[in-house]
Structure 1
Amino acid sequence: MAESIRVLIVDDSALVRGILSEILGAAAGIEVVGTAEDPYVARDRIKALDPDVLTLDVEMPRMDGLTFLRNLMRLRPMPVVMVSSLTARGAEVTLQALELGAVDFVRKPELDREQGLQDYAGELIDKIRMAAKVRVRALTNQTASAPISASSVTERIARRTLPSFRATDRVLAIGASTGGTEAIKEVLLRLPPETPGVVIAQHIPAGFSAAFAERMNRQTGLVVKEAADGDRVMTGHAYIAPGNRHLLLAREGGRYVCRLGDGELVNRHRPSVDVLFRSVAQAAGTHASAAILTGMGADGAQGLKELHDLGVHTIAQDEASSVVWGMPGEAVKRGAATEILPLADIASALYRAATGR
């Protein structure tokens, strides 16, 4: 019989600690070994209890969650799932936490909706189980073999002052889930400003997608924005699906545009990578290239297969560089990938496939 996943819950709210403990304590194969009300108590209990997974509140007393996470990932790397408030501040801090090595995040539980709490319980349990399988040491060093120099960062910032406003005739499509915010950043960092328009579906809640887009816009050489319905897809621009909206690519006359949809969840997700990839297949066909990055589940695998079967150059992130090799692994299993590449090589392969350069 497999051993239970041992979880330590760190949150300054006794109510939240109680709710998380009750949810996880009732889940098969999970054991809550303890709780802590602040990082100092958590530090001692990690040493005493040796948990497999930590849940960590974003904003904590005595020591903020980011400082604690930074120290933890340096001294005792372990899978961490952040518990985030649905605020602009919560979104920004959560994205910083993912950058520091947190595996994933869940929102704070909503106490006033019974159905919402049931859905939340399923999400939390799934993410704890997934986190327990993550190779955290590999995660913290996954881009170290191919660093981006400080001089190239400076050059990107300078070149960002001259964005292109030409309509794109080629399209790059990217889909991701768990671990995807950092994987997408890695790809966008390595794409030049003259890159064809990029459309992106990342599984992310409403309220976090705008902060993610703004963060990518500040840090990369592309103009990055949360997609709006009717946006023209421009060279040197990237469009990220809003949380809780499907992003579709459409062709209107001689140009590509973004369309947003409120349809049913697909593979339990909205936005769905399958929805995006299928729209790219219909609108752009072989004028596209596509990549599926790290993520839990199978969303996007079938859409990538449909692109591949059209003759589109398709890429799956390899297992070694993925936080979770669910989505790309399923794409490989279905024969959907033209290439299987480490994360650091995906940008150049996408660009080369789209432009021939």
Structure 2
Amino acid sequence: MANDTPLPAAPSPASDSIRVMLVDDSAVVRGLVTRLLEAEQGIQIAASVGNGQMALSALERNEIDVVILDIEMPIMDGMTALPKLLQIDPGLKIIMQSTLTLKGADISLRALEMGAADYIPKPTATKDLAGGADFKAELVGKIRALGQARRRDPRRPARPGGPPVARAAVASPARVAIHQPGPLQLRTQPAELPDIIAIGSSTGGPQALFSVLGAMRAGTVSQPIVITQHMPATFTTILGEHISRVSGWEAREGQDGEVIRGGRVYIAPGDFHMVIEAKGADKVLRLNKNPPENFCRPAVDPMLRSIAAAYGKRVLA
């Protein structure tokens, strides 16, 4: 099919654009997403293919910054293609596209554990994909953020036919001045420990959460951890399960009126702001549907403001 072949190289004015590959078995979906993205300055559709096998071939022939990868496809599905794409280009930024179901959320978060950079919920109706301002804003925002991160990655290959990617200059060993530090000054008093740890994340956040909490194994920290990650309700439910699996932490969505306990991870549920209030000697979670902040609900700002009011300075955020 004509829509299943890499597109020709862009002219030189677009050489600095973020180059995107669409991978979806629906030619209609690819066409609609192409029209959405082609209207955006600085974003170029470099390839549009119908399955994972074709994506591997296209990646071998084209420089790609960001891949939008559907999960369910014939011949080679997204989960099979994901590690193969990253094997070809370890710095590639891959956005998984899945349905807003528990199964879709679980698969998307497993993909993040495997190296995908982010995910985006796929509209259930074609009309929502064609005219959905929210979907377009979210997709474009993720592409721009991940594309910029890709540009800073030293693993990024040179453009086909273009100049090689600049590498940082390495000084000759004979010219390097070695600074000998003085004796270490140890603290005579222990640092003041926080009473709570707060984390806010958005694009690329789930992958970072798996990494940070996986390294900070359960039992090594006694403080409670509260997280606001901007994602739909279905996904926040599954996010807690995945954090528990990779880290051993007891992680789940926070509940309204719940007393915060140490050594647990509380996640703001999708479509709710999660805040904390003091109630006697306890700290209690509160959920609300106040207006979005910075276009997000849940948003991290309300959580951080409430934590500052409830805990004062003894916060690690």
TM-score normalized by the length of structure 2: 0.76
Structure 2 vs 1, CA of residues 48 and 182 (structure 1 numbering), >3 Å: closer, same or farther?
Answer: closer
Distance 1:207 1:12 in 2: 24
Distance 2:136 2:142 in 1: 10
Residue 235 (structure 2) pairs with residue 208 (structure 1): yes
Q: Which residue does 1:332 correspond to in 2?
A: none
Q: Quote the offset at 1:285 in angstroms.
A: 1.1
Q: Which residue does 2:212 correspond to in 1?
A: 187
Superposition pairs of residues 307-346 of structure 1, within 5 angstroms: none
Q: Which residue does 2:110 correspond to in 1?
A: 96
Structure 2 vs 1, CA of residues 114 and 79 (structure 1 numbering), >3 Å: closer, same or farther?
Answer: closer
Superposition pairs of residues 176-325 of structure 1, within 5 angstroms: 176-189=201-214, 190-193=216-219, 195-290=222-317
Distance 1:11 1:72 in 2: 15
Asked whether the equivalents of residues 73 and 100 of structure 1 are also in contact (C-alpha less than 8 Å), the reply is no
Q: Which residue does 1:60 correspond to in 2?
A: 73
Q: Which residue does 1:84 correspond to in 2?
A: 98
SS in 1 for 2:148: coil
2:99 aligned partner, one-letter code: S
Q: Which residue does 1:123 correspond to in 2?
A: 138
Structure 2 vs 1, CA of residues 172 and 4 (structure 1 numbering), >3 Å: closer, same or farther?
Answer: closer
Distance 1:24 1:231 in 2: 43
Q: Quote the offset at 1:114 in angstroms.
A: 8.2
Residue 88 (structure 2) pairs with residue 72 (structure 1): no
Q: Which residue does 1:15 correspond to in 2?
A: 28
Q: Quote the offset at 1:116 in angstroms.
A: 6.4
Q: Which residue does 2:164 correspond to in 1?
A: none
Q: CA RMSD in A?
A: 2.3
Bigger Rg over Cα? 2
1:179-205 alpha-carbon deviations (Å, 9 max, x no partner): 221222233231442512111111222
Asked whether the equivalents of residues 80 and 102 of structure 1 are also in contact (C-alpha less than 8 Å), the reply is yes
Structure 2 vs 1, CA of residues 76 and 271 (structure 1 numbering), >3 Å: closer, same or farther?
Answer: same
Superposition pairs of residues 150-161 of structure 1, within 5 angstroms: none
Structure 1 residues not aligned, in runs of 5+: 140-168, 291-357
1:206 aligned partner, one-letter code: A
Distance 1:239 1:247 in 2: 9
Asked whether the equivalents of residues 247 and 275 of structure 1 are also in contact (C-alpha less than 8 Å), the reply is yes
1:208 aligned partner, one-letter code: F
Distance 1:31 1:186 in 2: 31
1:7-56 alpha-carbon deviations (Å, 9 max, x no partner): 21100122211111111112112221331111111122222333222110
Distance 1:29 1:265 in 2: 28
SS in 2 for 1:259: strand
Identical-pair percentage: 38
1:55-110 alpha-carbon deviations (Å, 9 max, x no partner): 10022222221221111112223121211111111111111222222222211134
Asked whether the equivalents of residues 176 and 203 of structure 1 are also in contact (C-alpha less than 8 Å), the reply is yes
Q: Quote the offset at 1:138 in angstroms.
A: 7.5
Asked whether the equivalents of residues 81 and 131 of structure 1 are also in contact (C-alpha less than 8 Å), the reply is no
Structure 2 residues not aligned, in runs of 5+: 1-12, 156-193
Distance 2:146 2:196 in 1: 33
Structure 2 vs 1, CA of residues 15 and 270 (structure 1 numbering), >3 Å: closer, same or farther?
Answer: same
Q: Which residue does 1:33 correspond to in 2?
A: 46
Q: Quote the offset at 1:256 in angstroms.
A: 1.0
Asked whether the equivalents of residues 111 and 117 of structure 1 are also in contact (C-alpha less than 8 Å), the reply is no
Q: Quote the offset at 1:206 in angstroms.
A: 2.0
1:129 aligned partner, one-letter code: R
Distance 2:53 2:129 in 1: 33
Question: For this pair of structures, how many residues does the alignment match?
Answer: 261
